[in-house]
Chains A and B, each alone.
Chain A
Amino acid sequence: MGGPAPLPDLFASMLRIRRIEEAIAKRYPEGEMRCPVHFCIGQEAVPAAICAQLARTDRVFSGHRSHGHYLAKGGDLRAMLAELYGRETGCARGRGGSQHLIDLEAGFVASAPILAGTIPIAVGAALSATWRKSGSVSVVFFGDGATEEGAFHESMNFAAARRLPVLFVCENNAYSVHSAMEGRQPAGRRIADMAKAYAMASAHADGNDAAAVWNAGAIALDHVRKGNGPYLLEFDTYRWLEHCGPNPDDALGYRTPAEIDAWRRRCPIEKLRRDSVPGAAEERALEARIAAEIDAAFAAARAAPFPDPRDLGAFVHPARS
C-alpha cells in the first residue's frame, strides 16, 4: 500500500458507490426500504480513497451516512440491500437497517446513528489491537456534527495519550442536518486543528479530489501503522441530497443555489473523468458490470424472506457459546 493513487481503481470504487446510491434513491419511493437512509452521493471520494488503503484486518467504523464506507471496505452489497429491505438475509438480519451496517468478514465492524457513538468504540478496538499486537488499525468515519460530541474529544484525548493506532476521518460537509457551521463551531477553526490540542497529528485536504484524499490518507496511515499514535484527517466535501432520504432539498433554502451548484460542479467522479482516468470504453464496461451487480443484488434482496415474527426476541441475549 502507499505509492501513487491508483486512480482507475478509485474511479471504479466511487462510481460503484454512486450507482448503488442512485439505485437505492430511485427505488426508495416504492416504499419497500422502510428505514431512514442517509445517502453519500457527492461524498464518494473519501470512503473510496481511504478504504482502498486498508487491509481486510483493519477495522472500520461509521455513523449514519455509512453506505460508502461499508461498500468501499468490501462490505457485501447483497447483504446491505437486503438489510435496507428488512430481510433475514440482511447484514444485521433486518434488525438494524441502513443505519446499522456490518460486515465482519470485510472488516467493517459497525455503523450506528447516534452521533459519535462509534468513535470511542474504534479507539477501544485500537487499544485491544495493541494488546494483541495484531497490527490492525482502526478507522472511524464521522461528520462535522459528530465532532461536537464529548465522546469525540474524550476519544482523541485517550487515543493520543496512549498513542493508539486509530485514524479519525472527518467528512466535513459543512452542515449538520440543516444547520451551517456558524454558531456550532468557532469561526475560522479547522476541525483538523483540534488535533493539535491533543498533541495529535492531523491534516486537512479536499475531500472531492480522490488523489488528494489518497495522499493524505497514505501519510496518515503510515504514521498510525508505525506506532506514532492516532491521526485526524479532515476532508471538505458536500452532500448533494437531503440530509435523510432520496431527494434534493434545495427548496428548503438553508443552502444557496449558488453553493449547491458550485459543489455539484466539483463532483469527485467527474473530476477523475476530466482527468481522463477512465477510457470511454473501459467506463462503459465498468458501468455494465456495476449495473449487472446492482440488478442481481436488488433481485436477491427483494426475493429474500423477512424475519419470522416469532424471532422477535432473538439476539437480545447471546446464546451461551
Chain B
Amino acid sequence: MRLRSFAEAIREGLEQALADDPRVCVMGPGVPGPTGIFGTTRGLAERFGPERVMDMPSSEQAMTGFALGATLDGYRPVIVHMRVDFAVLAMDQMVNQVAKWHFMYGGRLRAPMVFRLIVGRGWGQGPQHSQSLQAWFAHVPGFKVAMPASPRDAKGMLVAAIRDDSPVVLVEHRWLYGITGDVPEELYETKLGEARVARPGRHATVAATSHMVIEALRAAERLAPLGIEVEVVDMRSLVPLDADTLCASVARTGHLVVADTGTIAFGAGAEIAAVATERAFAHLKKAPVRIGLPHFPSPTTPALADAFYPRAVDIERAVAGLVGLDPARLPVEEPPHGPWRDTPDPSFKGPY
C-alpha cells in the first residue's frame, strides 16, 4: 500500500503528466499560489515554470477561450476552478465552443482540455460556493464527465482526461480531498467510462457518484450486520456512462438506489436510474430510488445544511424500503463529530 490523500494523488498526477508531456499546461486563478488549490498544484510552478503552471485573472469566460485557442498549437490545458460555481461564468465558451469544437468543424479541430471543477460543501459554503452541477456538463454533447471517488481514481482519471482528445470535466468533491488510499507511484490511466464495483453484495445495488460513494460504503458497512449485503457501484464516469456494469449489478441484486451529489430533479441520478430502468427493467423488483439534493439552493446555516445533504442513513432507509426491512431495525446514526454535520472530519475548520 502506498497511501496518499486524494489531493496528493491529484498533485502527483498533474506533476507526472506535466513531466511526461511538454504540451500539458495548468491554468487558473491561484494555481501557482502558495496554497496551491488545496495542495493539488503546490510546487508545480516551481518545477515547471510560470508558463506551464499559470496564474490567471478572474476571467473565467475568456480564460476558457484562451485555453481553447492554445490547443491550436497542440497544447493540452488543464483549467482549474476552485468551485464549480465559478465555471458557471465560463458556460458560454464551454458549452457553445469547447464542447462542439470537434463536431462543428467537421472533425478538423479538437479541444483536448480538462476542466477541474471542485464542489464545495460545509462550513457555510452556501448558495454560490457549493453547487454540484455535473448534470449540466453531462447534458451537453461533446464533454466527457468524470467524478473520481478514490485517490487512485483521482490520479488515474486525471491522467486519462489529460490524454483524452475530448474536453473532459472532472468533478472533484472537496470532502474527498482528505481521504487516503492506495495510489500507485507510476504514471497510469484509469479508463474513463468504466464503473467499479467498490463493494460486492447480493441484495441491493447502490450506484453512487463522488462523495456519495463514501456514504454508500458507510451504509453498506452498517447494513451488513443485519444480513443485508449492499453492492456499491462507484459510477466514476457519467459520460461515457458504464451501463453494462450498472445493469449487471442490478441484474444480480434486483434493487437500485442511486446516490448523487447533485440535485435529484433532472440530475445525474435521474439518468442513471433511467438507463437502469430501460436496460434492466426485467430484473428490477421495485422502482429505483434516487438520493441527492432537494430542489433547493444550498443553505449557509448548518442548521439547514445538515438537513439538506443526504447521508449514509438516507441510503440505509432507501435500501430498507426496497428489501422490505423494518426501518426500526436500522442502526442508530452515529452522533456528529462536532456540533454539526457540516464538516467531513474534525480537522476541517473552514473557512474555505
Contact = CB atoms under 8 A, between A and B. Distances in A.
Determine the interface band of chain A, counting residues with CB < 8 A from chain B: 35 or more
Given A35-B124, A244-B351, A313-B294, A307 B58 contact: no
A309 B126 contact: no
Nearest to B56: A184
A101 B268 CA distance: 32
Given A100-B300, A306-B301, A115 B58 contact: yes
B89 interface: yes
B69 interface: no
Interface residues of B, number: 46
A185 B57 contact: yes
A184 B55 contact: yes
* Interface residues of B, dominant DSSP: loop
Given A96-B126, A114-B89, A178-B35, A312 B296 contact: yes
Given A36-B352, A100-B300, A178-B30, A312 B55 contact: no
B307 A252 contact: no
A86 interface: yes
B57 A184 contact: yes
Contacts of A112: 128
A95 B58 contact: no
Given A145-B58, A183-B55, A254-B33, A97 B300 contact: yes
A146 B306 CA distance: 32
B58 A149 contact: yes
B127 A95 contact: yes
Given A97-B124, A150-B62, A245-B350, A34 B299 contact: no
A253 to B, nearest CB: 6
Contact of A312 (B294, B302, B349): B294
A153 B88 CA distance: 18
A179 interface: yes
B303 interface: yes
Interface stretch (B210-218, B250-258, B335-343): B335-343
Nearest to A151: B89
A121 B41 CA distance: 35
B303 A35 contact: no
B34 interface: yes
Contacts of B55: 179, 183-184
Interface string B317-340: 000000000000000000000111
Interface in B288-310: 294-297, 299-304, 306-308
Contacts of A311: 304
A176 B58 contact: yes
Contacts of A245: 350-351
B128 A179 contact: no
B129 interface: yes
Closest 6 CB pairs of A and B: A35-B124, A86-B301, A94-B301, A306-B303, A97-B300, A148-B57
Interface of A: 28, 31-32, 34-37, 86-87, 90, 92, 94-100, 112-117, 145-146, 148-150, 176-179, 183-185, 244-245, 252-254, 306-307, 309, 311-313, 316
6 contacts: A35-B351, A86-B303, A100-B127, A117-B128, A306-B301, A309-B304
Interface of B: 29-30, 33-35, 50, 55-62, 85-86, 88-89, 123-129, 294-297, 299-304, 306-308, 338-340, 342, 349-352
